[in-house]
Structure 1
């Protein structure tokens, strides 16, 4: 009979070492043992720190959250399973039936769906207003508005919110300002610096940078709000994968380099597209012809990012010709990858909107959103030249 202490189904203690790993260990364990019930009580009452069950937190999430905290200049952020999970945790953690939410009219497509369909059926009143028009947006912050959700730079039309005016009006109304900082990232602007009460990210995108993780991040400046968001994320099971957190942390090691190279490429691509005959319009905040260029220059201080939007005439047929000719450019509904990707909002991120609704925010069948990567500029200009030429 085998010794029960050596049976194969028992866990082997982790090897002790006088050295430490240079890379962050991956810890996929679901559960963590405690010395006794008192030790577990001390953990849950926060007299001590540690982990008990992965849905409530795990080491890889804590390591990654601390890095993003440092980027945003805050403390206590948490990781969840996706960017939309971050928004969901905020909405369901802080809102109740009868509350009112005001959102920017040019939010990410799924955020718009949440505003238009999901929150109203939960008894939360919602409204949208143009964040580039401070008078109209301020007027829309009516009594009863509990929360305001905006993106500093919108997806996909790259309009720039008058975030300082919005923050001032939100504070005056006693509402909470939530800034989705996914597009801009802390390299261009930090939520805390523009008056956000809550900042969130789809870490899936430029922060992780390799299209191989799905994660979100959220941080609230008020500890009571942060606890409510955390409790909601834990109760709803919006748990981040340890492996995804591990990969995203690795991605952050090169974030500064990727951001600078991709941004430089975006400047060159935007200028090149503007000179291509079939292109009817180019939107890039760093260009003088962008409708919000002056505001972007003040807010972003020259760090205009890696996103470029352009439009061709000819409707869906012309769009399909361009996509088929873009053999070297992945056509995919994502952004922030090290490689340049091409997206068609009308058939992906904003497909749930009607043609009229899309037109109201500047999206046509010929609108393309480009997430510019870190390839050599010569490659990008050649690839886009061929693709646009096919129109």
Structure 2
């Protein structure tokens, strides 16, 4: 019998080395070999640790999850294929037909679609309520309510949820509180310290930070809830790419520096926009004219984050002229990149709402959301001045 392993397509083992890589290797293997059926049983039954099939977990995803766990003061979180995969895994992993969910009425557009269309057709009832008013959330609770989903800072109008009040409602009613922490990140806010049961992130955004990754993250305080979320994600194939996980882990190495720089520039830009003719209003949590300024200060301290929203006079014509004139600033439905990006919710994230529905949320045709990046503040403000001037001319 020929025992020469050089004839095998996939010989066992890796080259031996007395040293080790400084940077995490990319490990794209889909399958992992076990020594025996008994050894595989030991893995599945928790007596030993290891990998079997990448849909059930792989090293790059676990390394990234541990990094975010540390940031959130959490344990056992999982990385998924997108931020909406994280939202979906939490909801469909924990809810059943007959349950009811209360959501903030200014959630991300696709979260609103999930609440308004997909969950109801699966037998899960939903209600939207104002997250800045804990009494409105409490009034929406029913006997069958299982979950509350909010963003601390809403997308795109940057309203600040009454987190203390909502957490008290959730505790009193025995309802799970889920917080999407994408905008604020653990740098500004740690939901578990404020009563959350489950934390969600779109890692695609500020955590990864370079617009080259699509990932999500979800972690529950209760290990049993976490297992239910994990099982649903594995069953439905919400597998993250090892390469994306590797890129995101690399992005986390500079996260604090990126966040602080972008946040400081956002303060400058918000104040600058507020003084420009043709700008109807500016929304930034640390500004004294923000409708939730006192709450933002109490919850976030001096952390206003990197998002600024504003509304131009002149509606859609002004919006088109502004986007054309904003040279070097990408008009793209994303946030958290190293470069500043512009989003127009009426034509992107909230386009599925009626004009009346958008108006009720304060989103008009001249409304923009800005994800501030790492540009020099003076140069960025100059570019916005030029673009606002062009919008006025329209």
TM-score, length of structure 2 as denominator length: 0.98
CA offsets, 1:313-346, max 9 Å, x none?
A: 1111110000000111100000000110011000
What does residue 7 of structure 1 align with?
7
Q: Does 1:368 align with 2:363?
A: no
- For residues 16 and 164 of structure 1, what CA distance do their matches in structure 2 show? 54
- For residues 377 and 228 of structure 1, what CA distance do their matches in structure 2 show? 45
Q: What secondary structure, in the 3-state scheme, does the structure 2 residue paired with 1:390 have?
A: helix
What does residue 187 of structure 1 align with?
187
- For residues 93 and 134 of structure 1, what CA distance do their matches in structure 2 show? 26
Q: Does 1:171 align with 2:166?
A: no
**Contact 1:141/1:170 (8 A) holds in 2:** no
Q: Does 1:96 align with 2:96?
A: yes
- For residues 325 and 151 of structure 2, what CA distance do their matches in structure 1 show? 32
What does residue 17 of structure 1 align with?
17
What does residue 44 of structure 1 align with?
44
Q: Does 1:142 align with 2:145?
A: no
Q: How does 1:247-326 map to 2 (within 5 A)?
A: 247-326=247-326
Q: Does 1:233 align with 2:252?
A: no
Displacement, 1:121? 0.2
Q: What secondary structure, in the 3-state scheme, does the structure 2 residue paired with 1:34 have?
A: coil
Displacement, 1:16? 1.1
- For residues 4 and 368 of structure 1, what CA distance do their matches in structure 2 show? 65
- For residues 11 and 160 of structure 1, what CA distance do their matches in structure 2 show? 57
What 5-or-longer segments of structure 2 have no aligned partner? none
- For residues 198 and 215 of structure 2, what CA distance do their matches in structure 1 show? 17
What does residue 219 of structure 2 align with?
219
C-alpha RMSD of the superposition: 1.2
What does residue 210 of structure 1 align with?
210
What does residue 330 of structure 2 align with?
330
What does residue 154 of structure 1 align with?
154
- For residues 372 and 39 of structure 1, what CA distance do their matches in structure 2 show? 50
- For residues 207 and 11 of structure 2, what CA distance do their matches in structure 1 show? 35
- For residues 10 and 127 of structure 2, what CA distance do their matches in structure 1 show? 56
What does residue 29 of structure 2 align with?
29
- For residues 312 and 74 of structure 2, what CA distance do their matches in structure 1 show? 42
TM-score, length of structure 1 as denominator length: 0.98
Give the number of aligned pairs: 391
**Contact 1:76/1:219 (8 A) holds in 2:** yes
CA offsets, 1:4-57, max 9 Å, x none?
A: 621362246311111011000110000111111111101001111111100000
**Contact 1:81/1:238 (8 A) holds in 2:** yes
Q: What secondary structure, in the 3-state scheme, does the structure 2 residue paired with 1:218 have?
A: strand
Q: What secondary structure, in the 3-state scheme, does the structure 1 residue paired with 2:245 have?
A: helix
